[in-house]
Amino acid sequence: MPTYRYPRIHASEITPEEVWHGRRDWIKAAGAALTTGALGAWPQVGSAAGLAALPSTPNANYVVMDPSTPEKDVISYNNYYEFGMDKGDPFLYAKTLQTEPWALSVEGECAAPKTFGMDELLKLAPMEERVYRMRCVEGWSMVIPWIGYPLSALLKQVQPNGRAKFVEFVTAVQPKNMPGVSSRVLDWPYKEGLRLDEAMHPLTLLTMGLYGKVLPNQNGAPVRLVVPWKYGFKSAKSLVTIRLVEKQPVSSWGRSAPSEYGFYSNVNPEVSHPRWSQASERRIGEGSVFSPKRKTLMFNGYGSEVASLYQGMDLRKNF
């Protein structure tokens, strides 16, 4: 992905507590609801890093056996281009992301379009913890304990109609709060897309937390997509609109470099990106840069669950 640098803040100017503190009314509301018993076990303010806990039930069907990537790496080595191009930029700059109030509109080809507030999204379906393998097209990977529920639970609410064949995901643009959107590196807002059957697949997670807490801003607060069998860029952060559409949507990366970023972007060790072989990967937080790389798995290891979605398709052509 392109190289561009934002002015760096000196380490002494970083106040980590500020990164985390007091940013969510809905968390407080959920905490209050907890004390009044209105919501059962919902988030409480307060945890080691100052982010609210997000209770969930581990789903044993979705736990990869590799050790999870240390939390400190998951929250400080990120891609969120609205906040800069360096892996450390989102951790430094995403504290300005305005996450409340937040609304997610689900619209387009459906019988019952609706805008959901965060409080509603948090209650829509049981929160699960799922430990997914994540693979970035740049050649690194992580194992992350996400918290969320299948996107299908949300999509069913709006009753997709017969013309809905694809789903477009549109993310937040906050020019005053996002230093990166003044650059032309991508056509903002950051957009992604899935086929409807991919979006309805049980692995596709509408995600609101990680490591037992609500999402840090740099990981896509307050609500993002996680699609573990595809390269990381498909997992759009800070969603504001989910649109059911008839035609295949154009993603931001697909628009900027169609020969590099295909619509499907399934993890495939046999099909190289023009700039990166996809045969192997470096697991962040594991060993050192000199440690041997891991072999990348077809569909990132989720082939038994998703290969049937692509039966009969030429995956070199449909990369």
Given 69, 217, 238, 266, the residue binding ligand MTE (CB under 6 A) = 238
Interface with ligand MTE (CB under 6 A), residue total 16
The single residue listed with the structure tokens 């982010």 is 51
For the segment 48-87, give every residue that binds ligand MTE (CB under 6 A): 78-82
Could you tell me which of 297, 177, 188, 313 has the C-alpha nearest to residue 253?
188
Indicate the residue among 27 and 223 with the shorter CB distance to ligand MTE.
Answer: 223
Binding positions for ligand MTE, 90-149, rule CB under 6 A: 136
Task: Indicate the residue among 157 and 256 with the shorter CB distance to ligand MTE.
Answer: 256
207 binds ligand MTE (CB under 6 A): no
What tokens were used for 166?
A: 């694809």
Neighbouring-strand partners of residue 132: 144
Kindly tell me which of 62 and 81 has the beta carbon lying closer to ligand MTE: 81
Task: Establish how many alpha carbons lie within 13 A of residue 186's alpha carbon, considering only the half-sphere containing its beta carbon.
Answer: 27
- 209 vs 220 by CB, closer to ligand MTE: 220
Q: Give dist(CA 150, CA 225) in Å, integer.
A: 10
Quick note: the x/- pattern for ligand MTE over 166-205, rule CB under 6 A, is -----x------------------x---------------
Beta carbon nearer to ligand MTE, 56 or 160: 56
Structure tokens at 284: 């962040």
To ligand MTE, the closest distance from the beta carbon of 191 in angstroms equals: 9
* Phi (first) and psi of residue 240, to 5 degrees: -120, -25
SS3 assignment, position 18: helix
Q: Which residue is nearest to ligand MTE (CB)?
A: 232
Residue placing its CB nearer to ligand MTE in the complex, 233 or 319: 233
> Is 73:149 a contact under the CB 8 Å cutoff?
no
Smallest separation (angstroms) from ligand MTE to the CB of 295: 19
Q: Is 280 helix (H, G, I), strand (E, B) or coil?
A: strand
Neighbours of 275 (CB within 10 A): 11
Interstrand relation of 57-63 and 128-135 (parallel, antiparallel or unpaired): parallel
Residues in the chain: 319
Identity of the residue, 33 or 234, whose beta carbon is nearer to ligand MTE in the bound complex: 234
Which among 310, 287, 313, 273 is positioned nearest to 136, based on CA atoms? 273
Contact letters for ligand MTE, residues 286-315 (x by CB under 6 A):
------------------------------
* Cα separation, 100 vs 103, whole angstroms: 9
Residues near ligand MTE, by CB under 6 A: 78-82, 136, 171, 190, 219-220, 232-233, 235-238
